[in-house]
A = this chain, B = another copy of it.
Amino acid sequence: MSPKGDPPISVIKRLPVYLRVLDNLVKRDIEVVSSKTLSKETGFTAEQIRKDLAFFGAFGTRGTGYTTNYLREIILRIIGLDKQTNVAIIGAGHLGTAFARYNVRENPYTNVVGLFDVSPDIVGDEVEGVPIYHLNELEDVIKHERVQVGVITVPAVHAQEIVNRLVEENVNAILNFAPATLNAPENVRIHNVDLTIELQSLIYFARDQIDEGETD
Contact = CB atoms under 8 A, between A and B. Distances in A.
Interface of A: 9, 12-13, 15-17, 19-21, 41-43, 78-81, 83, 85, 87, 93-95, 97-99, 101-103, 106-107, 109-110, 148-149, 151, 172-175, 179, 181, 187, 189, 191, 193-207, 209-210, 212
5 contacts: A43-B181, A79-B203, A80-B204, A83-B207, A106-B196
Nearest to A180: B20
Number of copies: 2
A61 B54 CA distance: 49
A206 B173 contact: yes
B149 A13 contact: no
Contacts of A83: 207
Contact of A199 (B149, B197, B206): B149
Give me the 6 closest cross-chain CB pairs, A-B, nearest first.
Answer: A80-B207, A173-B206, A94-B98, A189-B205, A16-B200, A16-B197
A189 B173 contact: no
A181 B204 CA distance: 22
B179 A20 contact: yes
Contacts of A174: 202
Given A20-B179, A102-B95, A12 B210 contact: no
A173 B103 contact: no
